Amino acid sequence: MRPSWKRLLISTLLASAWQIPTTWSQDLTKGADIYATYCAQCHGPNLEGGQASSFMDGIWNFASGRNLQRNNIEFGIPGTQMIAWNAVLNDDQIDAVLDFILEREKEMGITPPPPAERSETEDYTLKVDVVAEGLKQPWGIEFLDERTALFTEHAGALRLMVDGEVLPEPIANTPPPAGKPNGSTFGYLDIELHPNYAENGWIYLSYIHEVGEVPPGEYNRPSSVRILRGRIRDHVWVDEGPVYDPRPEDYTLIHDHFGGRMVFDKEGYLHFSIGDRGHMLDCQNLSRPEGKFHRIHDDGRPAADNPYNSLERYGVLTSVYAYGTRNAQGFAVHPETGDIWSSEHGPMGGDELNLVQAGDNYGWPLATQGLDRDGTVQTPYKSLPGMVDPVHFWTPSPALCGIEFVTGPLFPAWKNNLLVSALKHQLIFRLELDGRKVVKEEVILKESGRVRDIKTAPDGSIYVLIDRRGMILRLTPDK
């Protein structure tokens, strides 16, 4: 099938701007030929780089995993010089050139390197120690005391780390994780300690809960975010009880955008996020849990002063504290002001840092700084009346995840700075705040792998959960 005149026009315009051949590429089918024709000028004939980055180090700076790598070729990377190639290449050609690049990396033995042992920052040289690896995608971590940390593995386990060593056996009797048809498991998200944990021992677990059977023609069972609390006694999960139990109608077949972060505020209320679950418009519907920040008592009762309690008779959920959020995966409480901050995955462009306040509407999907996932315009509005603009945003999207305020004694120059992790860009930002404004931004760790969570240990060192090789890193000033 011959290309339309619109595609030919776009192809010609791109060729003029980027000095690429104007001949329509329909006859090119081999990945090597497509790469040589369209990619080699910038990325080098042997993947060594040039005008654009090299593939020789095994690091894709704006992607992690094949789907994101393909998206970057097809739709480009907003805010960079990487154009959208879907105007020139069809789907098969995009797959072919990506397969060529990945195969060449494999043939040349190119793999992502281990994290560097040192990281230079403006104030410190960071010593980077690999504390553990080979874990099954560590997701959230909390320190129980000076010697002991508890963390989740997304595959469905609670694990203890004592004196820097991960105990071989996971905690027994924890809730069953979600499952896939191939037999693999997944679904544990965040953990959070009760503010009075030392006295009552309560541990809160958010996870993906599945019900029913897999419908014909589907791959997943209906699922939702669920929150339990329990205690650990003799390496066994005990005293389990639900804190947030979804309604039957809250379970959906879409396995995406769960959110699932939790934090206790200074008043003792539990805040948690639920992503849009692929139902974007439900983020603006107060009778649905998707796309919301929720606020409840430690036992699960909605807070009595939540902003929409008076509308319960109209079907509004009384746990809702704020709304219009796409997929918030980071929560942190400012150590002095008590303000709650959240990091959020935007679409293609427009990852956000937000200040979470009662009744605020953060706009999704009616206002956003980014494009939709397929490169189209989700909405023409970056801001709308009555909706709260982000405190800070990033384009291209780094895929923000866990965040943490620096409070420990090891980093006095960073007191109350906010550390923000990124999955896709595989780095950590350090943000200096002036009140409720970001006044400075620095990358303090990069190319380490997808950063899932950050937590300060009792001794002031910074622990980092990394997807790559299932690692836990420890950051300290290099003396």
Residues belonging to the active site: 257
Contact 365, 383 (CB under 8 A): no
**Strand, coil or helix: 85:** helix
Phi, psi (degrees; rounded to nearest 5) at 231: -125, 160
Phi, then psi, of 476 in degrees rounded to 5: -140, 155
Q: What angle do CA 180, 184, 185 make, to 5 degrees?
A: 80
Q: Please give the angle made by the CA atoms of 409, 411 and 416, to the nearest 5 degrees.
A: 90
Cα separation, 306 vs 292, in Å, equals 13
E strand spans, 211-282: 223-233, 236-244, 259-264, 270-274
Count the neighbouring beta carbons within 10 Å of the beta carbon of residue 188: 28
As a whole number of angstroms, the distance between CA 250 and CA 261 comes to 18
What one-character DSSP code corresponds to residue 313? Answer: G
- The neighbouring-strand residues paired with 205 are 191, 228
Helix (H, G, I), strand (E, B) or coil at 69: helix
- Asked if 346 and 392 count as a contact pair (C-beta separation under 8 A), the reply is no
Task: Name the region of 164 (left: φ>0; alpha: ψ -120 to 50; beta: rest).
Answer: left
Rounded to the nearest angstrom, the gap between the alpha carbon of residue 179 and the centroid of all alpha carbons in its chain is: 21
**The pair of three-digit structure tokens given for residue 94, joined into one six-digit string:** 């995009």
How far separated are the first and last CA of the chain, in Å rounded?
A: 65
How many other C-beta atoms are found inside a 10 Å radius of the C-beta of residue 279? Answer: 17
